[in-house]
A and B are shown apart, each in its own frame.
Chain A
Amino acid sequence: MFDAQRPGDTVDQKETKISARNVQVYYGDTHAIKDVNVDIESKSVTAFIGPSGCGKSTFLRCINRMNDTIDICRVQGDILLDGEDIYDKKVDPVQLRAKVGMVFQKPNPFPKSIYDNVAYGPRIHGLARSRADLDVIVEKSLRRGAIWDEVKDRLHAPGTGLSGGQQQRLCIARAVATEPEVLLMDEPCSALDPIATAQVEELIDELRNQYSVVIVTHSMQQAARVSQKTAFFHLGNLVEYGDTSQIFTNPKDERTESYITGRIG
Chain B
Amino acid sequence: MPVFWLVLILLALAVAGYFIGRIRAVNSVGGDSRVLHSLPVYYGASAAISVLVPAMGLLAIWLLAQPILVERSVSGMIPSSLIPDGANLNLVMADVRRVAEGLNVAVQQGAISNEQARTLRAETSDIRAVLGQVGVALGQEVRPEVLRAAQSYRNLSASGALAMTVTVLALAMVGLGVSIRISHGQFRARNVVERVILLLLMAAASLAILTTIGIVFSMLFESINFFRLHSVSDFFFGATWAPNFRGDSDLSILPLLWGTLYISFIALLVAVPIGLFAAIFLSEYAGPKTRAIAKPLLEILAGIPTIVYGLFALLTVGPLLVSLFGQSGTLGVNWMSGATSVLTAGAVMGIMLVPFVSSLSDDIINAVPQSIRDGSLGLGATPSETIRNVVIPAALPGIVGAILLAASRAIGETMIVVMGAGAIAKFSLSPFDSMTTITTRIVSQLTGDGDFSSPETLVAFALGLTLFVLTLGLNVLALVIVRKYREQYE
B372–A178 touching, CB < 8 Å: no
Asked if B444 is at the interface of the complex by the 8 Å CB criterion, the answer is: no
Give bound CA distance, A178 to B380, whole Å: 9
B residues contacting A by CB (< 8 A) are 287-288, 369, 371-372, 374-382, 385, 389-390, 393-394, 488
Asked if A104 is at the interface of the complex by the 8 Å CB criterion, the answer is: yes
- CB-CB contacts of A31-75 with B at 8 A, as 1s and 0s? 000000000000000000000000000000000101001010000
Give bound CA distance, A175 to B379, whole Å: 6
Asked if A251 is at the interface of the complex by the 8 Å CB criterion, the answer is: no
A97-B380, A178-B380 known, 20 other contacts, Cβ within 8 Å: A66-B378, A69-B377, A94-B380, A95-B380, A96-B380, A97-B378, A98-B379, A102-B378, A102-B379, A108-B371, A108-B374, A110-B372, A110-B375, A111-B394, A120-B381, A121-B379, A124-B379, A124-B385, A171-B375, A175-B379
Give bound CA distance, A98 to B394, whole Å: 23
Give bound CA distance, A106 to B379, whole Å: 16
Asked if A101 is at the interface of the complex by the 8 Å CB criterion, the answer is: yes
- CB-CB contacts of A102-137 with B at 8 A, as 1s and 0s? 101010111110000000110011000000000000
Q: Which residues of A contact B378 (CB under 8 A)?
A: 64, 66, 97, 101-102, 104, 175
A-B complex: 5 closest residue pairs judged by Cβ atoms: A98-B380, A102-B378, A108-B371, A97-B380, A121-B379
Asked if A174 is at the interface of the complex by the 8 Å CB criterion, the answer is: yes
Q: Which residues of B contact A121 (CB under 8 A)?
A: 379-381
Q: Which residues of B contact A69 (CB under 8 A)?
A: 374, 377
A111–B371 touching, CB < 8 Å: no
Q: List 10 A-B contacts (CB under 8 A).
A: A66-B378, A97-B378, A104-B371, A104-B378, A108-B369, A108-B374, A120-B381, A121-B381, A124-B389, A175-B378
Q: Which residues of B contact A124 (CB under 8 A)?
A: 379-381, 385, 389
Q: Which residues of A contact B382 (CB under 8 A)?
A: 94
Q: Which residues of B contact A175 (CB under 8 A)?
A: 378-379
Partner of A66, one of B287, B369, B374: B374
B287–A71 touching, CB < 8 Å: yes
Q: Which residues of B contact A101 (CB under 8 A)?
A: 378-379
A97–B287 touching, CB < 8 Å: no
Partner of A111, one of B288, B377, B380, B488: B488
Give bound CA distance, A113 to B336, whole Å: 50
Q: Which residues of B contact A64 (CB under 8 A)?
A: 378
A58 CB, nearest partner CB in chain B, Å: 14
Give bound CA distance, A111 to B398, whole Å: 14
CB contact under 8 A between A110 and B380, given known A66-B374, A104-B371, A124-B385: no
CB contact under 8 A between A106 and B380, given known A71-B287, A111-B488, A124-B385: no
B379–A178 touching, CB < 8 Å: yes
Q: Which residues of B contact A95 (CB under 8 A)?
A: 380
B393–A112 touching, CB < 8 Å: yes
Q: Which residues of B contact A171 (CB under 8 A)?
A: 375
A124 CB, nearest partner CB in chain B, Å: 5
Give bound CA distance, A195 to B389, whole Å: 33
Give bound CA distance, A175 to B381, whole Å: 12
B290 CB, nearest partner CB in chain A, Å: 12
Partner of A108, one of B287, B288, B375: B375
A50 CB, nearest partner CB in chain B, Å: 21
Give bound CA distance, A121 to B488, whole Å: 24
B259 CB, nearest partner CB in chain A, Å: 39
Give bound CA distance, A71 to B389, whole Å: 23
A174–B377 touching, CB < 8 Å: no
Count chain A CB atoms within 10 A of each CB in B287, B288, B390 and give the residue with the most. Answer: B390
B390 CB, nearest partner CB in chain A, Å: 5
Closest B residue to A125 by CB, please name it. B380
B381–A110 touching, CB < 8 Å: no
Give bound CA distance, A134 to B488, whole Å: 28
Q: Which residues of B contact A178 (CB under 8 A)?
A: 379-380
